A and B are shown apart, each in its own frame.
Chain A
Amino acid sequence: MPEERYDGAWPRVAVRKTHKLYIGGAFPRSESGRSYPVASADGEHLANAGMASRKDARDAVAAARKAFPGWAGRTAYNRGQVLYRVAEMMEGRRAQFAAELAAATGAERAEAEQEVSAAIDRWVYYAGWTDKAAQVLGGTNPVSGPFDNRSAPEPTGVVAVLAPQDAPLLGLVSVLAPVVAMGNTAVLAASESAPLPAVALAEVLATSDLPGGVANVLTGRTAELAPPLAAHADVNALDLAGAGELAADLEEAAAQTLKRVLRPDPAVVWSADPGLSRIRPFLETKTVWHPVGI
């Protein structure tokens, strides 16, 4: 951190941030009391991040479950506005995100800023999907009988998201936004090596009208956090974007409760237009029949 002169006499001592977890709308330290050092792309120590434990993961799932009915029950228009608010809040902290991203990835400042822009725009993109996906994915089914028959998508519930390891901001937003856009709640495990943008994002979420518990952000060892999330019976779906070599084992663990699993796509390009590709996997189709008569 650059140190400034204060009062022309002594260098000012900067107030550093403690990087905490984000669970249920609060910023607790890991219940384990652990942290781990986070280094920049060129190996310089940046900060200590909270090292979440299995119990933190459990608490995050509980918070996400608690938040689910309320969030899913919001109108789609309202969820859209909340997501847009996230974009607004991020926009106000562009410089911080660009700096953290540059530090984390070693990218040039301009490149980092471009990625921040893309990440902000992605929230805007999904803010627009909230009240359209149901029309695109649902509809009326012309059954052969005197019945009204409609199918509409609904959020699947609590989604455990393993954020991509090597795209700590755009990748992070790209996996989190579609999950919460449609009314799911998320427990996100941040990129293990570059968790600081996720912590910054959590701070944005906390000030963005997103109800506490809708998005929960854990930093720590993916290999420690992912297995309990994959096996947790109160998790409905799993995004394995950042699972790496753990993917197959996690998918196997998820089978115990038939979780929906989005497998990692090695060819993914985070800057590409995602369409519905990350919305669809976390929706259930509910079909309702009703007789038509007098």
Chain B
Amino acid sequence: MPQTASAAEQAPTNRALREFLHGLPGVDEVGARERAAGLATRSVKTTAKAAALDLAVRMVDLTTLEGADTPGKVRALAAKARRPDPDDPSAPSAAAVCVYSDLVGVAVEALRGSGVGVASVATAFPSGRAPLEAKLADTRRAVADGATEIDMVIDRGAFLSGDYRKVHEEITAVKQACGGAHLKVILETGELATLDNVRRASWLAMGAGADFIKTSTGKVAPAATPPVVLVMLEAVRGHRAATGRTVGVKPAGGIRTAKDAVRNLVMVQEVAGPRWLDPALFRIGASSLLNDLLMQRSKLRTGAYAGPDYFTID
């Protein structure tokens, strides 16, 4: 899409957006599933596995997004992100913690000096059903409190009704409200129903200025399924080829095991390209995944299978 964030003021018309988005090559669902399944048979062992596990740890956006979240819970999560395996200093830190906007301040405080980012969901997460003013206020507040990354949701209702312009405008407005913070745009692919829509929503978000495109809120199933991630990786690859701008990808929801994470990295490598094998361009939104990654690290290091009681749960 020939749009960049700087063009936000002149949002394209619905018609122009539709023509562009519907002119993208289609996605054959069965073919996409087959490709993802084929890549899932890659065998990543020994040294490759060690490298992949460490990279995956460094890509984790350690997430808590519950109504029951408290400052104490967020501080515990921050400690885990900073030092995932207290018994193993070689274990790297996670990429960021991801919290609701009202708890950004707590997280920032707990992570000061750690290099671990603070991501905040915003814009009436997870439904996205709120007036734009409220979404922007949510965003500004989170950024003001020190969030380095904003995970916004798109208005799926607008998208599905064909009001691409509305989605586009919201993204550009939130992007502006982000200031220096990185914007991850959650497509909520589980509600978009088709891979064609996933591709279109990806391009719409990238054109409106997203720094990352993210699969899901984690509140809707299915979430980050392999074919969805595949299509989004194809989208960022194509977008870079077309515009020169590199957008990141964040699967979130449903990635619970080290095996799932490694399969995602294989997809990153073989679909988007190794350039994206970088926490700056690929994140995994997860909570329980981190301990499984650590257990697998431990297995590689010691040769013995690890037990869950030897890894902290926060």
Q: Do chains A and B touch in the complex (CB under 8 A)?
A: yes
Indicate whether A143 reaches chain B with its CB closer than 8 angstroms. no
- With a cutoff of 8 Å between Cβ atoms, the chain B residues found around residue A291 in the complex are 28-31
- With a cutoff of 8 Å between Cβ atoms, the chain A residues found around residue B195 in the complex are 294
* Interfacial residues of chain B within 207-244, with CB under 8 A of chain A in the complex: none
Q: How far is the CB of B29 from chain A (nearest CB, A)?
A: 3
Indicate whether B193 reaches chain A with its CB closer than 8 angstroms. yes
- Since A147-B30, A294-B193, A294-B195 are in contact, a sample of 13 more A-B pairs with Cβ atoms closer than 8 Å, ordered by chain A residue number, is A146-B30, A146-B33, A291-B28, A291-B29, A291-B30, A291-B31, A292-B30, A293-B28, A293-B29, A293-B30, A293-B33, A294-B29, A294-B194
* CA–CA, A294 and B28, complex, Å: 8
16 example contacts (A-B, Cβ-Cβ < 8 A) are as follows A146-B30, A146-B33, A147-B30, A291-B28, A291-B29, A291-B30, A291-B31, A292-B30, A293-B28, A293-B29, A293-B30, A293-B33, A294-B29, A294-B193, A294-B194, A294-B195
- With a cutoff of 8 Å between Cβ atoms, the chain B residues found around residue A294 in the complex are 29, 193-195
A130-157 Cβ-contact flags toward B at 8 Å (1 or 0) = 0000000000000000110000000000
- With a cutoff of 8 Å between Cβ atoms, the chain A residues found around residue B29 in the complex are 291, 293-294
* CA–CA, A294 and B31, complex, Å: 11
CB-based nearest B residue for A290: B30
- With a cutoff of 8 Å between Cβ atoms, the chain A residues found around residue B194 in the complex are 294
* CA–CA, A147 and B30, complex, Å: 9
* CA–CA, A293 and B13, complex, Å: 31
* CA–CA, A146 and B227, complex, Å: 15
The range of chain B's interface size is under 10
Going nearest first, the 9 A-B pairs with the smallest beta carbon separation are: A293-B29, A291-B30, A293-B30, A146-B30, A294-B194, A294-B29, A291-B28, A291-B31, A293-B28
Do most interface residues of chain B lie in helix, strand or loop, or is the interface mixed?
helix
- With a cutoff of 8 Å between Cβ atoms, the chain B residues found around residue A146 in the complex are 30, 33
Query: In the complex, how many residue pairs between chain A and chain B have their CB atoms under 8 Å apart?
Result: 16
* CA–CA, A146 and B194, complex, Å: 16
* CA–CA, A140 and B54, complex, Å: 50
Q: How far is the CB of A143 from chain B (nearest CB, A)?
A: 12
Interface centre among B29, B30, B193, B194 (most CB of A within 10 A): B30
A280-294 Cβ-contact flags toward B at 8 Å (1 or 0) = 000000000001111
Q: How far is the CB of A133 from chain B (nearest CB, A)?
A: 31
* CA–CA, A244 and B30, complex, Å: 54
Q: How far is the CB of A67 from chain B (nearest CB, A)?
A: 38
CB-based nearest A residue for B193: A294
* CA–CA, A293 and B193, complex, Å: 11
Q: How far is the CB of A32 from chain B (nearest CB, A)?
A: 58
Q: How far is the CB of A146 from chain B (nearest CB, A)?
A: 5
* CA–CA, A147 and B28, complex, Å: 12
- With a cutoff of 8 Å between Cβ atoms, the chain B residues found around residue A293 in the complex are 28-30, 33
CB-based nearest B residue for A147: B30
* CA–CA, A206 and B287, complex, Å: 81
* CA–CA, A199 and B146, complex, Å: 97
CB-based nearest A residue for B29: A293
Interface centre among A146, A291, A292 (most CB of B within 10 A): A291
* CA–CA, A292 and B195, complex, Å: 13
- With a cutoff of 8 Å between Cβ atoms, the chain B residues found around residue A292 in the complex are 30
Interface centre among A147, A292, A293 (most CB of B within 10 A): A293
Q: How far is the CB of B140 from chain A (nearest CB, A)?
A: 39
Q: How far is the CB of A145 from chain B (nearest CB, A)?
A: 8
B27-44 Cβ-contact flags toward A at 8 Å (1 or 0) = 011110100000000000
CB-based nearest B residue for A146: B30
CB-based nearest A residue for B27: A293
B264-282 Cβ-contact flags toward A at 8 Å (1 or 0) = 0000000000000000000
Q: How far is the CB of B201 from chain A (nearest CB, A)?
A: 15
A165-194 Cβ-contact flags toward B at 8 Å (1 or 0) = 000000000000000000000000000000
* Interfacial residues of chain B within 111-139, with CB under 8 A of chain A in the complex: none
Q: How far is the CB of B35 from chain A (nearest CB, A)?
A: 12
* Interfacial residues of chain A within 15-57, with CB under 8 A of chain B in the complex: none
* Interfacial residues of chain B within 169-211, with CB under 8 A of chain A in the complex: 193-195
CB-based nearest B residue for A294: B194
* CA–CA, A293 and B29, complex, Å: 5
- With a cutoff of 8 Å between Cβ atoms, the chain A residues found around residue B30 in the complex are 146-147, 291-293
